[in-house]
Homo-oligomer: A and B are copies of this chain.
Amino acid sequence: MRVRTGGVTAAKGFEAAGVEAAIKYQNRKDMAVIYSRKPCILAGTFTSNVVKAAPVLWDKKIVEESPFGQAVIVNAGIANACTGKEGYSYCEQTAEAAAGALNVPRDAVLVASTGVIGKQLPMDRIAAGVEKLAKAKADTLDAGTQAAEAIMTTDTHSKQVAVEIDVKGVKVTLGGMSKGSGMIHPNMCTMLAFVTTDAVISKELLTRALKEDVVDTFNMISVDGDTSTNDTLLVMANGMAENEEIKDGTPEYEEFKAALHYINETLAKMMAGDGEGATALLEAKVIGAATREEARILSKSVVCSSLTKAAVYGHDANFGRMICALGYSGVSFDPEKVDLFFESKAGRIQVCKDGIATDYSEEEASRILSEPEVTILADMKMGNETAAAWGCDLTYDYVKINADYRS
């Protein structure tokens, strides 16, 4: 596996664009397209929220029922959630418009929206945006970047990643982009993330690879504990690498899964680190757990703790809050066995041994917590399972952004 530049246009046959459509924002790109020259196998996971936005309902149907997908139309600014039948009809109309503009079947068009809940989409501007996107789309890496920028809301930077693998001498590429920094606590997948690949692989195997991987990547990040109505992760595979089909139980499948994992984990961590108002990417690593699932629950409980997040913001080695978060996670363990460490580029320090504070230096601990990437490592001494979860610190800016999000 080799990391390379680019995002959704890195793989063969994929085009993209980002344009200004004035959906809610002015003077910035707010609509994007991903288009594949050939029809794609689709896999997807969606929000587990009972309240599902209209585009989620549309995409679930397409992923489950359509043989292929060929384009995704994304808008930022309005989420098209809590919009009833009218909102759903706008998904149909968007797909209809894209089908015409891109010359693909209507049921090969996916849609995704992000932004404020409870407002209807301005359909005339969406339709105009689709026309612009169809004209602007290109297979350059820059076109992928434009798309990644267009789907941002409160993100401070765009997020994309790409890797290459060899499948029996044939180069296969995977690329992805994502957005999201508020309302991030994905349960089935994340806010909006799109992965493209030119691999030849069956829908069944692609779906399985995706579902197995999201539990350790997108489902392990949290910015604020709020699971969005719009969480969507789509993977499109157009087969244009013309590799020998990737089959279950082969080294090639393992390599493909590792590449997909890299894409997913990278995008997930980018989202966590760019959480609303964040100054640091917070990683909670749990080792020595009795089961994998318990390791996941424990690590996620730490990155979700408001008090832990505020302590990280203050560079305050208030480890009791992390022990406390482990304790209310729902997982049973022996508090008198837990070891706790802080790690970052600035070093590593043990703050708690067998459940009791060590005689650590507050100054050094604070220095370690002052880095832009900070790890809290807990050794439960219950078994051999590990997991990691990612979040960010809780800051004044998180409150500021969310106290006047809609203004």
Contacts and interface: CB of A to CB of B under 8 A. Distances in A.
A335 B85 CA distance: 12
A354 to B, nearest CB: 7
Contacts of A229: 320, 323-324, 327
B354 A116 contact: no
Contacts of A225: 225, 304-306
A227 B19 CA distance: 46
Contact of A48 (B319, B328, B395): B328
Contacts of A119: 357
A248 interface: no
Nearest to A334: B50
B226 A51 contact: no
Counted per complex, copies of this chain come to: 2
Contacts of A394: 399, 402
A142 interface: no
Interface stretch (A30-38, A193-201, A212-220, A307-315): A307-315
A82 B313 CA distance: 23
Nearest to A327: B51
A84 B356 contact: yes
A226 B310 contact: no
A355 B320 CA distance: 41
Given A229-B320, A229-B327, A396-B396, A84 B51 contact: no
A367 interface: no
A383 interface: no
A327 B396 contact: no
A306 B224 contact: yes
Contacts of A313: 399, 403
Contact of A182 (B227, B307, B323, B326): B307
Interface in A334-393: 335-336, 352, 354-357
Contacts of A331: 50
Contact of A316 (B51, B307, B406): B406
A326 B51 contact: yes
Nearest to A226: B307
B117 A321 contact: yes
A146 interface: no
A118 interface: yes
A168 interface: no
A140 interface: no
A65 interface: no
Contacts of A357: 82-83, 118-119
A318 B398 contact: no
Contacts of A320: 79, 81-82, 116-118, 229
A105 B318 CA distance: 37
Interface in A285-325: 304-307, 310-311, 313-314, 316, 318-321, 323-325
A125 B316 CA distance: 26
A178 interface: no
A82 B323 contact: yes
A44 to B, nearest CB: 19
Given A118-B352, A314-B405, A395-B403, 5 more contacts: A50-B326, A50-B335, A82-B356, A314-B403, A396-B399
10 contacts: A51-B326, A82-B319, A82-B355, A119-B357, A228-B324, A229-B323, A229-B327, A316-B404, A394-B399, A396-B399
Interface of A: 47-52, 79, 81-84, 116-119, 182-183, 185, 187, 224-229, 304-307, 310-311, 313-314, 316, 318-321, 323-329, 331-333, 335-336, 352, 354-357, 394-396, 398-400, 402-407
